[in-house]
Amino acid sequence: MKACLAILTVLSLGLAVHAQPQAPVVWGEARWAYLAGWPGSPLITTLQVIPMGDTLLFTAFNIGSAVSDTILICSSFDNGQTFTPWSGLTRGEEWAIAQFTGSAGRFYCFLNRQDPSPLALWLRMSDNSVGFSDPEQYWQDAYVPCGFASGNEVLARYAGIVDGNFAAIVIRSTDRGQSWSAPTVIDTADFGHHYTHQAIAFTRTQRLILAEPPENGTDYRLRVARSDSSGQNWTTFQVLPGQTVDSVGARTGAIVGDTSSEVAGVLGAYSYRHDPLGPLRPLFFRTTNGGESWQMPACLTDGASGICSWIACSPLAVCHGKLWLVGWEHDDPQGWNFLGTRFSANHGRNWYPLQVAADSLAQSMFFCGQIRGNRMDLYWVQGCCGQAQPWDYRMVTGTITPDTAFPQLSPILAPPDTVRVGQQLLFGVSATDDDTLSEVRLVIVELSGDTLRAGMLRAAEHLYYISWVVPDSGYYDYWFEAEDFWENVGTLPDSGAFHFVTEGWSASADFILHPSSFILSVFPVPFNSTTQIEFTLPSTQRVSLRLYDVLGREVAVMMNEIQTAGQHHIMFDASGLPSGVYLCRLEAGEIAQTRKIVLVK
């Protein structure tokens, strides 16, 4: 598009502030698993919960056995309603660290064995948490393992010794752990062996690893390394933007990625140097290009509250496609802490207000979760005061309740059909229900196909305005479109298409040069029983004009024949159809346009 086409004058009518639904997730009552810390329970130290649909794997150390570090597991196959008995996973051997992950019906356990010394990394696998394989030693001089699985791919990271120093090393399997790549060294910096328990994420084409700050040091900034999908071409750990050594320090973090796009996010728990004993601040970093660059962080809470500063407390981050949830044990100086969550329906670009998912939290850790359809399940380990042992498992389920109704947009201020070059035009539109909109835009298209999209300002409830200067002589289409917090965007919802031309412009030459251009508009919207459909053709061609319901079923064929170039009008009688939203689709040659129409009786 010509540079001058992008000249826009935004009216000084106030900020584009959009209200959001206050309760995007309806949370149920949190419940205890009663697997530890209760009368009659084994004497254990709780570890991770690994969810995989309705199958849950619970892991723990048996501190009541003669060998202090025996690892126990138990399972649930109905999302925590009933449980199998605890069983030994390591059968009395001494193990220092166990880290679990799972995907596609298989669980993986990465183990550090204390004897023989130095530590070695071992692997055990199980299908649906039943019958873990015997431990197999894969790598020597391996410390602090962490794994992540998605589909058939498994990526494991551990700290190894390279030239006498710790180094971050990765290995990868593409056949569900049956075979593994040779170890690849990512970084030999001294922070390379400190990791959060949620340290690995995948996007569609990238693999990301989050490094936590060292336990003893002065540089407490979060860093991320990335590789392409081969898992071989790694960058070194790069500092995320917006972190300064002398102002904030990260205590811990969690990384999450959408495997269907290139969007990923990091949630870090930060303390401020001027208030080191205060609550931690949740800062969220976001990338839309697989970690090549990161946006400046956004603080997800106000300045007076934040993440509980207990040393083992770590944040939660979980996603499924564009649906994202972050959470943490929220510090409440007035009483019990609570599990605070924030929900996003557009890859973390906009966040709904803070919600309480569960109350009465104390010394919580190992948060994890899963999103299935419109359901969210969260799990964590929590201190249980007054019981025989200090920790047990808790879980809560929430239901996503989106407002997915498309907003109805109606022009209230439009330019005349003929304008002058250099004239400033004012556009206005009304949105009948704008409580879920993240943006309302004006779209202007030149006859050449060059397109400009510009966000409009919300002057008052339901009302949006913008002004624009006509740059050149020609023919212009324009319409209004909206994007809501659920990423419903594109030609739906929209207001239908309109157009204007500049004084003295001749249609003949330009339309011959661009034979694929045509215009479809419907008026009025909404309508009672009849509506007028207009379309303009640049050349003679076969035209298909059909009506579909919102499920994609064809309900009417209004035209399927050859039409000459020029403007055409059709009156459509919908008296035989029920009230609702319909899609009017025009196809001519290789081009198609769709407009939404609303029938109200």
Domain locations in the chain as residue ranges: 194-361, 402-514, 515-601
Give which of 275, 220, 290, 217 is closest to 252, Cα–Cα.
Answer: 220
Cα–Cα distance measured from residue 420 to residue 470, given in angstroms and rounded to the nearest whole number: 7
The CATH topology of domain 402-514 is Immunoglobulin-like (2.60.40)
Architecture of the domain defined by 515-601: Sandwich (2.60)
pLDDT in tens, 213-245: 665 566 778 889 999 988 888 998 899 998 877
Task: Give the per-residue pLDDT at 217.
Answer: 61
Give which of 418, 427, 307 is closest to 367, Cα–Cα.
Answer: 307
CATH code reported for the domain at 194-361: 2.120.10.10
Residue 143, SS3 per DSSP: strand
**Same fold for the domain at 194-361 and the one at 402-514?**
no
Task: Give the per-residue pLDDT at 17.
Answer: 37
Give the residue with greater pLDDT, 279 vs 166: 166
Task: Give the per-residue pLDDT at 312.
Answer: 55
User: Which of 314-318, 433-437, 537-541, 570-574 bottoms out in mean pLDDT, i.e. has the lowest?
Assistant: 433-437
pLDDT in tens, 407-432: 677 788 889 889 999 999 999 988 76
pLDDT of 278 > 70? The answer is no
Task: Give the per-residue pLDDT at 247.
Answer: 61
pLDDT in tens, 238-277: 999 988 776 666 778 899 999 888 999 999 887 765 566 6
C-beta separation of 569 from 533 below 8 A: yes
Mean pLDDT of 101-114: 83
Residue 511, SS3 per DSSP: helix
Q: Which two tokens stand for residue 284?
A: 């969220």
- The contacts of residue 248 (CB under 8 Å, 6+ apart) are 220, 270, 271, 272, 273, 281, 283
Bridge-based pairing state of the strands 418-419 and 498-502: parallel
Cα–Cα distance measured from residue 155 to residue 320, given in angstroms and rounded to the nearest whole number: 19
C-beta separation of 337 from 310 below 8 A: no
pLDDT in tens, 476-532: 888 888 877 666 654 434 445 678 889 987 654 333 333 334 456 665 656 667 777
Instruction: Tell me the average pLDDT of the chain.
Output: 78
pLDDT of 196 > 90? The answer is no
Q: State if pTM tops 0.85.
A: no
Mean pLDDT of 293-316: 75
Q: Distance between alpha carbon 117 and the CA centroid of its chain, in Å?
A: 42
CB count within 10 Å of CB 203 equals: 22
Residue with tokens 């970093």: 285
- The contacts of residue 576 (CB under 8 Å, 6+ apart) are none
Segment of 281-285, 398-402, 544-548, 567-571 carrying the highest mean pLDDT: 281-285
